[in-house]
Every structure is written in C-alpha cells, then in structure tokens.
Amino acid sequence: MSTVQVWTLIFVAITFSIYIYIAYASRVSTTSGFYVAGGGIPAPANGAAIAADWMSAASFISMAGIIAFSGNGYSGSVYLMGWTGGYVLLAMLLAPYLRKFGKYTVPDFVGDRYSETARLIAVVCAIVVSFVYVAGQMSGVGVVFQRFLGVDTTVGVIIGMVIVFLYAVLGGMKGITWTQVAQYSVLIVAYLIPAFAISQKLTGIPVPQIGFGQIMEELNGLQADLGLAEYTGAFTQMNMLNMFLITAALMFGTAGLPHVIVRFYTAKSVRAARFSALWALFFISLLYLTAPAIGAFSKYNVLNDIPGTAIGSEPEWFKSWQDVGLITVNDLNGNGLIDVQGGLGDAFELAINNDIVVLATPEIAGLPAPIIGLVAAGGLAAALSTASGLLLVISSSVANDVYYKRINPQATEARQLMVGRIAMGAAIVVAGYLGINPPGFVAQVVALAFGLGAASFFPILVLGIFWKKCTAAGAAAGMVAGLGTTLAYQIWTIDIYGGSDGLFGINEVAFGAIGMVINFIVTIIVSQFTTKPTEAMQQLVEDIRYPGRSELVAAHAAGSLDDELLHDDHGDHGDHGGRKDES
C-alpha cells in the first residue's frame, strides 16, 4: 500500500469506529427516539448535525469542482447562492412553525394538516426525493474508496452501506444526530486544513478567503492565455434564464428537503429550533465561504501545471486519478501534448471530473500524506452523514406514515421499530444500487433532488402554514402536478437518458423552479373549488404562526385532539386509534 492509502485507512478506521460506538451508546427503544431523538437535542449540537446532514458529498466533494471546472467560477456560483439562500428560507419560513406543529416527519405534517390521501402522496414524494439524493451520497463514497484505498467502486459502496446500516439502524435519529456531530467535526477539519495550507503556499496569506482575492486576477489572465472564458465573466457559460431558475430551484428545494426539515423536530422547543438554525448557519458558513477559494486554487494549479505537458509525463497525482477514470486525456490533434485551448470537458483534450477537485487538491499542492488521508475521511463523513438522514426519512415514511397511520394503527412501539429498521435495511440496499449506477456526478444527482424537493414539498408546506384555507384536494393535486412534471422533464433532458435540450434550453435542475410554480398554481386553483378545512384546523394553522403556545396547539402536539375536530372527511383521514403520537 502507498503512504497515502495507509494514512487513509488509519483515518477511515478511526472515524468509522467512532461512528459505530456513538450509535451503540445512543441506541433507542422508542419510536420518539428513533424518529426525532426524543426531541431533546441541544441547539449547538443540533446545529452541527443539521450542517452535516445538509452539507452532503455534493458540498464537500463536488461543489468546489463545479465552481472551478463546470464552465467558470461565475456560473458555478449558482450552487453557493441557491443552497445557502435556501437554508435562510427554511430557517425563516418553515422550521419554527413545523416544530411547533409537532410531528415526526414531513408526510406527518401533510397528513395532519390536509388528509390521508395527501399524506400518501407526500410519502411517495419523500421517497423519490430521498432516493435521488442518496444516490449522489453513495456514489461519493465509491469515489473515495476507489481512489484512496484502491478498491472497486462497488466494494466501496458496499462498505459504506454496512457502516450506515450499523449506526442508523441501532440508534435511529438519536444515534444519527450524535454521529453527525462527530462527522461534521471530521469533515470541517478535513476541509479547512488543506485550504489554509494551499492559500499560504500560493499567496503567502494563510486565510483562503483573502488569498482567494489575490489569485483571481492571475487566474483570469491564465484562462485568457489558454483561450478559455474569463473565470469571473458573467453569463459566459450559462445564460441568465438558467442561472436564475437553477438558483431558485436550489433555494426552494433546500427549504423543501424532508431530511433537513425533520432535524428541527429534534430540537427541545420552538426557541431551540430557531437557535439550531442559527448555529447551523454558522457551521455551514465555515465550509461555504471556503469552497470558492479551493475551487480557484485547484484550477490555478491545474492550468499552471498541465497544459502543454507531454502525454505520459503528467504528475503522479494526475496519473492516480487517470487510473480510476476520473481524469481523461484525448489527444485530438495528435501532437502528443495536453492542450486545453477552447475548453475543458469530454469534447476537448482534457476532462476532469468535478468530484475529484477537493479530494485531489492536497495532492496537487504537494501536501503531506496524512492531510490527504484526512480529506478522504472527511469526504466519507460528508457522504455518510447525509445518507443516514435520507435513509431515516425513507424508513420513517414507510413505518410511521404508511404502516402505523394506515395499515396497523394498533401497532406497538416494538413492532413499529422493527418495521422501521426493516424499511431502512431495504432502503440501504436500493441506495447502494443507485450509488453503484448513478445518473451523473455527485452534485449533479444531488441537484436533481433539490429540483424535486422544490416542485413537490415547498409549496404545500408554505401554503399549509400561511394560508389556512388551503385544502386537502389542492395540496394533493399540487404535489402530483409539481413532482410529475419535474420528474418527467428531468428524465427527458438528463444526459444518461439521451440528453434532450428541453424547452427553451432550460436545464434539468432549473426546471424544479418551474415545477414549483406549477404546484403553487394547481394547489391554489383547486383549493378555490374544494371543501375548505374545518374551523378547528383553520384556528390551529392560525395559532402556530404566532408566539406562545395556545391550548389548541398544545393539545395537537400532544396527540390529544379528536381528529373529527380537524377533518370533516373522516373516511379519508383514517382511524388514529390506539397509541397517540408523542410530542
């Protein structure tokens, strides 16, 4: 084994052991502990867990690569603006109110706010969004194992599946939460140390956010010399329409992601949910303010070292990534040199996969092997933390929203936990298959999930909180219309399925914003012509928007409200007999 592989193995073994120990120490025996960690996670810890849950393999592994190599830095900035702006929307418009409503999952909110039919549609939406999202995470796990431990991608994904299964099934949300706190610590240290070291090496300034400004002018000049578009040039690689729509899809998709929303149910109170959001924004900013610098540093190093190099004489790091197929060279002009005039990508002589940029940055900069191994462990931490949260969404949707709420309302806690764990095991198998056969690179796949989240959940959550006359039929129709049109458009336009140019050249991710608008329009129109919610439900919706805790909200959160007060259509809403939901 190489020195890099040895250090990677050491860090991976240490971190995986920590994750499994935390899960074992946090194992649960109640549905409240399994689904929402008993609602007892302190705000700082919850903030770190939210950050780890949200900053997936796409943020850690792919985002800097997108900014650097997908066109230019300007066009790649849509991911920074969209994902960060979406978190602000989530914290302001949804999180506190959903926590005050007091349920386990997003479908749980939809079912109680609207109807059982709407709940089942929400379950389908949650499962579709989560499986698309988790495919990117497991794919990232395979990339790390393939490059740094020399194992086949399939083997790497299977190892990741086993680890996630152990700590997610044992500890449920409680185990996942405390594991994510540890994973955030690993990923942020692994991200920042190389950034500081490379900034110091390239610019003499150890703070990457400052060194980044110094390197931009040189990078613009370097790209111009090589015939590439200016790195900071506006709309050179992506038109204004797609920039606007992709940013919107990522923003509203972030605010509609079920695995992030459910994290706010783990807070001790509504106040703690708000402070969790504040802590999470701080923890997220540490990585998101550093990613543009890493992208610029990496591209500067690549463009300085590689163009004009004789094929076969590339640096060792280049050959390592070439061996696993994530860098490709095609000598189109037959001169035996790597030329980049005109661009980078599959249609040119040099193509660099976005997923390698952060992972390869320490090697490109010549940093020591231990730092390279730490970055690999950080990439795994980012992927596994989000994967576990997504798998819990799938598990809870099946066990709580389908099995308990529809099939067997009399089920004991032990039976519900068993069903939840079986569902999670099945979901991990499907996630592994999708990770081995992903429909694109990590961030591309994840971005598709954000588009689906925007088109399915965001409208009915916002309207469910802020429009008390939004009806069950309207919400159901809106979710079907939004998710259906967006999913169909993505399948039609994504490269793996033929890659049609679509309508007006709208990108497959960008269409999520169109799907969201379709959802809003359908929901509002149908709500005008269908039975309005009961007076009690309208009062409950009114109460959750204001500070304090009314008797109605308290009774609903405790599960002691008679369902007939909230829903006229009792047949649709089903029998909620047996054990009441725990707050």
Contacts of 572 (CB under 8 A, 6+ apart): 115, 116, 117, 472
The answer to whether residues 86 and 264 touch, using CB atoms and an 8 Å cutoff, is no
pLDDT of residue 151: 79
470 token code pair: 């939004």
**Rounded Cα gap, residues 48 and 166, in angstroms:** 21
In this prediction, residue 443 carries a pLDDT of 57
Beta bridge partners of 364: none
Q: Average pLDDT of each block of 10 consecutive residues along the chain (583 residues)?
A: 83 86 76 69 86 75 76 74 82 81 78 88 86 78 78 83 76 78 88 89 87 84 79 75 88 84 77 83 88 86 85 85 83 84 76 79 83 86 79 82 84 84 85 75 67 90 92 94 90 62 78 94 95 87 75 64 61 42 35
DSSP-assigned letter for residue 350: E
What does the chain come to in residues? 583
Burial class of residue 107, CB neighbours in 10 A (0-12, 13-18, 19+):
buried
> How is residue 245 written in tokens?
């729509």
| Structural domain spans, the chain | 3-27+35-298+368-446
pLDDT in tens, 250-304: 889 888 888 788 777 777 777 787 888 888 888 988 888 888 888 888 888 888 8
State in words which class domain 3-27+35-298+368-446 has: mainly alpha
Mapping DSSP onto H, E and C, the string for 499-552 reads CCCCCCCCCCCCHHHHHHHHHHHHHHHHHHCCCCCCHHHHHHHHHHCCCCCCHH
Instruction: Count Cα neighbours of 84 within 13 Å in the Cβ-side half-sphere.
Output: 16
| pLDDT score of 577 | 39
User: How confident is the model at residue 526, as a pLDDT?
Assistant: 96
**pLDDT the model gives residue 580:** 39
pTM: 0.79
Three-state DSSP state, 351? strand
The rounded distance, in Å, linking the Cα atoms of 140 and 58 is 8
What's the confidence (pLDDT) of residue 578? 38
CA distance 493 to 514: 15
Q: What is the pLDDT of residues 29-56, one digit of tens each?
A: 677 667 666 667 888 888 888 888 777 6
pLDDT score at 35: 67
Rounded to whole angstroms, how far apart are CA atoms 297 and 194? 11
Rounded distance between C-alpha atoms, residue 91 and residue 568, angstroms: 32
Measure Cα distances from 61 to 47, 281, 485 in Å. Answer: 21, 19, 30
Helix (H) or strand (E) holding 65: helix 63-69
Q: What is the pLDDT of residues 204-221, one digit of tens each?
A: 888 888 888 888 888 888
